[in-house]
Structures are given as structure tokens and as C-alpha cells.
Structure 1
Amino acid sequence: MKAPLVLLTAGGTGGHLFPAEALANALRASDCRVVLATDKRANAYAGSFPADEIIEIPSATPSGRSVPKMAKAALLLAQGTLRAMAVIRQLKPDAVVGFGGYPTVPPVIAASLLKVPTAIHEANGVMGRANRLLARRSSLIATGFASIKGIPTSVPGQVIQTGNPIRPAVLEAAKQTYAPLEPDGTMRLLVVGGSQGARVMSDVVPPAIELLAQDLRDRLVITQQARGEDLERVRSHYRRLDVKFEAEPFFTDLPRRLGEAHLVISRSGASTVAELAVIGRPSILVPLPGSLDQDQAANAKTLGDLGAAIVLPQSQFTPERLAAEISSYFQQPDRLTKAAAAAHSASITDAAERLAQAILNLIRINENGTPS
């Protein structure tokens, strides 16, 4: 019997690709073949993706009110759908699984038109626009959180919570138990801004560190992700303060660094929140402002409500406020330990396996009408 072939589609950012990567590993462990369809932008993150083949499909994100830009985006999506139909006819996948973002739209629409079973995974606490568009064309909707907003009414497919699939490197890092901050010990501070970085971290964190008392600065070891254009000023600031630091645009071993951290300062993308929970690390989360769906605010709230994170809207994320929060953690290190335990209580470590099993069941139902 030929091994099932699953076409995964994800794009845009690492936040979409990372859970797709985790599912790919789980599917391959179940003797499935995997092909990834993505857009040009996501290829920067897809080099080591565990797939038999990576196929680029045209896509665009409709945004703004410019009629020419909207028309161009619609044309690219139509071209992408035609390209995806040709790919699906050639590959003959047993299922197509989308992970959100407009690059998933052409392959999932093409699959539904060709009567191939489809599934979408919504990682955030609010369903994104692309997934809302695809929900009524999907045989299965899997969610990262138990309750999410924005699912259209009367969707034809089953809705299940699987959790957010976690990459093997993160699961490996989760084996490292949280090391409590000693009363006079070193605090390892990790500052990240998502797979594309965040300028606000470069604007706020170094000045906040400067506001700390000298004895607290001496106890810090900082690892900070900074955009290339912000990198030198971040490094210069820390050198002037004479603090121990490492600053880079991207860390390939980020899961290991998460595991080593006492405190994480970050955006609150779905993958980041899931990884903080699985590894069990306390955090200060700054949701991305201005998004239509406010998905990062919903994600952050899940950890904030548990006492696992301090959630600061970007308008409140100032050097003064951040310095006060870090100082408070130095003075009450047991709060970090309690927050780490609270984060871990929200983890779903087998989400990739759950989602893989749901996809295999979908394939079996399509073949013979009998789920396993």
C-alpha cells in the first residue's frame, strides 16, 4: 500500500511554518509522505523543513484600501489557485492542511475545488482572516486553544482542539527543568520579537536595563534578538552599560536558549506562547498592536490569566515600567518559579501527534467512510 501523501501549506512567517514543521515530523513518523507548499517570503525559514519537496505558489495578502493593490492581490491569489490546482492534480495528495496566512488560501481552495479532503489549523486565540475565509471549505478545523473567537457559524467540518504542534527542538528543551533564581544569582534574560524581530524591543529593553541599579545590572546575562538595522545600537548600548550580553538578528538554537532563561520578554505569537508553555518559562509579553484580529492579545491573555506572564500593551511597555518589573523579580525570585510552573500547566506536548492522527482519520474517512 502506498504511503499517504499530505500537502502542507504555510507561509509568511516562522509562526505559521513552525507548527507545520512539527506536524510534518509527526506525519513522517507515521510513514506519511509530506510536501510543503509555501510562498516566496516563507522560503527564508523553510530550508530545513522536513518535506519530500517544497513548492512555491504565488500568493498575496489583501490589505489597505488601495484599489490597485487589492486588484493585484486578487490577481496573485487567482494565479496561485490555478498553480495549486496543477500541483494537486500532479501530486494527488490524500489531504491538504493549511496553517493560516494568505499563502494557504490558493492550495486549500484548489483542494476543495478538486474534492481533496482539507483541514486548517488555527494557532491563535482569534481565527485569522485567511482561516475564516477557508473555514467553510474545510473538512476539519483544528485549534490551538480550547476556545477561540471568530469561527464562522455553521462550518461543515468538525472542530477539535489539538493544541499547537511543537517542534522537536522545543520538546528537547522542555526536558530542562526550571532553575530557580538564587537570591544573589545571575538572571538569564531572553528578549525576542518573533521570527521577524520587533523594533520596540530594541527601543525599550536597553534603556530599561540602564535604569536598573548597578548591582542588578551586574547580575544580568542578556540574550536579545534585534533586527539587523537595530543591532549595532543595541550592542553599543549594552557595551556602554558594561553588561554581559549577546545580540543577534536570529538565533537558530532559540529553543535551547528558552530552556536556559529565567525570564523571557517577547511578542505573543501563537508559537511563542505555546513554546513558553511547553518549556515552562515566565514571561513579559507585549502583544503586537494594531492588528485587525488582536490575536496576539488573545494569546497573551491565556498565560496572563494563569499568572504565567505579565501582559503589557505596547503603550505601557516603557523603560520605566520594564525596569520596575525586572527589579521586582530580582527582589521576589519565587514569583519567577511560580510563573514557570503556571506556564507549564498550560502545555500540550503531544499536539503534533494529535493533529497527525486527526489528519489520518480524515484520510481514512474519505477512503472508506470509517475513522480509526
Structure 2
Amino acid sequence: MKILFTCGGTAGHINPAVALARLFQQREEGCQVLFVGADGGMETRLVPKEGYEIRTVTITNFQRSLSPAAVGHNVKTVLNMNKSKKQANAILDDFQPDLVVGTGGYASYPVVNAAARRGIPTAVHESNAVPGLTTKTLSKVVDAVMVGFEESRSYYDCPEKVVVTGTPVRGDFFQYTRREARSRLGLSDERPMVLSYWGSLGAQVMNGMMTEFIRMECDAGEPFHHLHGAGRDFSRLTKELGGKGVSLSAHPAVEVREYIYDMPVAMAAADLVICRSGASTISELAAIAKPSILVPSPNVTADHQTKNAKVLAGAGGAVLLPESECTPQRLYGTAADLLGDKARRSAMSRALTEMAVPDAAEKIYETLMRLEKREK
């Protein structure tokens, strides 16, 4: 069996494809896998690290603006579409896949569209709650549309194609109990723990708020444990804390790291997570039933993070706090209230458990194998 995955742009598109590639190779003896991404995309760095070959097409996005720069960019995109169509067909001629799966990103369009025209079984998977332009367009030509949440079904014109499969989450997120994870982090008392981190888009704004958040919790006598991932703002954040008279060495319950490399451990130990609401994040939060305060990034296409956050908040599993309404005081107050209300957090966890699809990878595997066998 030969299966081609095409993905790119964000980890939320790449990680599910990698998880599925591993599952197919475990289940199907001799299964050959090829990835296709966009020239220079994140996928060209991440996929080879996972041990898979990746080929690329020349594709760019459309910008929703009438500025001269945007118009010029869009003209280039139109020209690239013709080039990427030829590249996609050349890749299909060479690899001869039995199944083609797109998990999002601009590179998915030319490859999945070309495969569908040839009659090769095709499917797309959308990790975000609301489909992006690529997935929405491809949904009209593929054999199956796989989505992460039941609420996503209504956004598609062909509901008979839609299968609610959930989104695959790395197995190590399920490896630790709360007690085991807290022990690994060296938490020796029963104070609740909050985990906070931000993505690269708009992280500086939110890390600025976290400086005041941390000052307030230190002034309050460290009522809870706190692990914060500051990313590129680590030096600036710690310097600003010093300017506010906060020495983290005097507050052992508060830890600021540049990067959190053991995220599955940190997530398992946490009683509350404060973060953005990208596709990977909401899938992880739902899968492990972790209550959260979600502050969507306003700097993403079609405001899709707000739409993601609304799914979890609407189910009762998260608090949605728009960045435009967020202040350090409101963020801290909301977190303190939740950390002091175990019953509410338990209710949030139950709500997430009810909406999650814990065996997402298995459901996607079964859906794709039905397509492949139907062709035979």
C-alpha cells in the first residue's frame, strides 16, 4: 500500500499527518509513505525529523486585501497554482499512491485536487473547528471529510461526506497521571498548578501581561504552582520581573522557562491551562480533559482561533477571554477563581470528556481503509 499525506503551514496540520503515517506503517505491512508540502514551509523541517521523505510544490496563499502589495501577491499565487498543478501531477505519476490524504495547508490543494481528478481515493482532515479555504474547497471533490468536532459538520456543503473522527494526539499525552506528572515536576504539596504558554504570534503582548500576573501571584504568597513558557520573550520577561522587585529564586512555586520541552508532563500535572487556541492545542486539551482559559490570537487567518475556542467554551470546558478584553488583573482573577473552585474544574473536565474523541487515530484509520478497499 502507498499513502501520500499532504500538509503544512502549522503544527496543527503536520502533527496529525505524522501520527497517521506511523499508524499506517504499524498496521499495514510494507506500507510506503510520502509527504508533500510547500516550498520552504515548516513541514520541510519537521517531517524529515520524523523520518519521512517530503517533496514540495510551489504554492502561496491568497491575501484578503486590495492593497497594491496584496494584489501583486495574489497575482503571483495564481501563477503558482498552474506551476503547482504540474508539480503535483509529476509527484503522483512518480509515487502512484493508493490513497491521498490532506490535513490542511495550501500545499494540500493541488495534490489532493489532482488525485481526485484521477479517481484516486482522497480525503481531507480539518483540525480547526471551522474549515479553512483549502479544506472548504477540497471538500467538494474528495471522497471523505474528517473533522475534529461534531460542531464542525454544519460548515460543509456536503454533510454526507463528513465523518467526525476527532484529531490524533500524541500518545505521550496519555502516559502520565496527574500524581505521576506532579512528582516528575517536583511538586511536593497539594496546591493546584497552572500551566501557561503562548504561540509565536502575539506572544509578546501576552507575555507582557504574564509579567504582571506573576507579580500578583507572588504578592499573594504563591497560592498555586505556576509553570510558564515564555519562548523568545524569556530574557525580557525575567528582566521586567526584576524591575517589579520580583526575584523568582525567592518564589519556588513559580517557574519561568524559555521553552517547555516536556509538555505532556506539564499538561498532565496542570489543573488549569492558560494558552492560545490553535488546532493542536484544543485537540490536546479536549483529549486529556484539561480545563483552560483560552486567549485566541487575533493575528491568524479568518480569526480561526476564536472559532476553535468557542467550541470548547460552548461545551463548558474552557473560558474564552478575547485578547481585546484581557488585562493582567482579569486574567489573574479568572485563573484564581478557577483554581479555587475544584467542583467547577471537575465539571469542565467532564464536559471535555463528553465531547472528545479519544480514539481519533483509530477512527481516521478505519475511515481511510474503507476508502482504499472500496476502490479495489
The answer to whether the superposition gives a TM-score over 0.5 is yes
| Structure 2 residue aligned with 1:247 | 257
Answering whether residue 27 of structure 2 is matched by residue 30 of structure 1, we say yes
| Structure 1 residue aligned with 2:240 | 237
TM-score norm. by structure 2 comes to 0.85
TM-score norm. by structure 1 comes to 0.86
Letter in 1 for 2:353: H
| Structure 2 residue aligned with 1:80 | 84
For residue 7 of structure 2, the aligned residue among 5, 10, 27 is: 10
Distance 2:178 2:219 in 1: 34
| Structure 1 residue aligned with 2:161 | 158
| Structure 1 residue aligned with 2:306 | 297
The answer for unaligned runs of 5 or more in structure 2 is 249-253
For residue 323 of structure 1, the aligned residue among 323, 328, 332 is: 332
Answering whether residue 208 of structure 2 is matched by residue 203 of structure 1, we say yes
2:128 aligns to what SS in structure 1?
A: coil
1:295 aligns to what SS in structure 2?
A: helix
Is the Cα contact below 8 Å between 2:289 and 2:353 reproduced in 1? yes
Answering whether residue 105 of structure 2 is matched by residue 101 of structure 1, we say yes
- Give the number of the structure whose residues are more often helix, by fraction: 2
- Report Cα offsets for 1:13-71 as digits up to 9, x if no partner: 111111112211221222132211112222233343353x2222222111133221101
Q: What is the CA-CA distance between 1:197 and the residue it aligns to?
A: 7.2
Letter in 2 for 1:46: V
Bigger Cα displacement from structure 2, 27-36 vs 358-367: 27-36
Letter in 2 for 1:34: V
Bigger Cα displacement from structure 2, 292-301 vs 102-111: 292-301
Bigger Cα displacement from structure 2, 166-175 vs 348-357: 166-175
Distance 1:193 1:150 in 2: 30
Letter in 2 for 1:148: S
Distance 1:256 1:117 in 2: 38
For residue 373 of structure 2, the aligned residue among 361, 364, 367 is: 364
Fraction of identical pairs, as percent: 29
For residue 135 of structure 2, the aligned residue among 112, 125, 131 is: 131
Distance 2:355 2:180 in 1: 16
2:257 aligns to what SS in structure 1?
A: strand
Distance 2:172 2:345 in 1: 23
Is the Cα contact below 8 Å between 1:13 and 1:195 reproduced in 2? no
1:289 aligns to what SS in structure 2?
A: coil
| Structure 2 residue aligned with 1:342 | 351
Is the Cα contact below 8 Å between 1:21 and 1:167 reproduced in 2? no
Letter in 2 for 1:69: H
Q: What is the CA-CA distance between 1:154 and the residue it aligns to?
A: 4.4
Q: What is the CA-CA distance between 1:308 and the residue it aligns to?
A: 1.9
Is the Cα contact below 8 Å between 1:258 and 1:264 reproduced in 2? yes
Q: 1:34 to 1:154 in 2, by over 3 A?
A: same
Is the Cα contact below 8 Å between 1:277 and 1:345 reproduced in 2? no
Letter in 2 for 1:114: R
| Structure 2 residue aligned with 1:370 | none
Answering whether residue 125 of structure 2 is matched by residue 121 of structure 1, we say yes
Letter in 2 for 1:45: L
Q: 1:290 to 1:219 in 2, by over 3 A?
A: closer
Distance 1:109 1:30 in 2: 27
- Report Cα offsets for 1:128-182 as digits up to 9, x if no partner: 1111111112111111111216644247x72211111122222335787897xx9
| Structure 1 residue aligned with 2:116 | 112
Bigger Cα displacement from structure 2, 36-45 vs 286-295: 286-295
Is the Cα contact below 8 Å between 1:171 and 1:279 reproduced in 2? yes
1:359 aligns to what SS in structure 2?
A: helix
Letter in 2 for 1:18: N
Distance 1:97 1:130 in 2: 13
Is the Cα contact below 8 Å between 2:129 and 2:151 reproduced in 1? yes
| Structure 1 residue aligned with 2:56 | 56
Is the Cα contact below 8 Å between 1:178 and 1:337 reproduced in 2? no
| Structure 1 residue aligned with 2:251 | none
Q: RMSD in angstroms over aligned alpha carbons?
A: 2.6
2:58 aligns to what SS in structure 1?
A: coil
Q: 1:22 to 1:195 in 2, by over 3 A?
A: farther
The answer for unaligned runs of 5 or more in structure 1 is 368-372
Q: What is the CA-CA distance between 1:84 and the residue it aligns to?
A: 1.6
Distance 2:134 2:354 in 1: 30
| Structure 1 residue aligned with 2:173 | 170
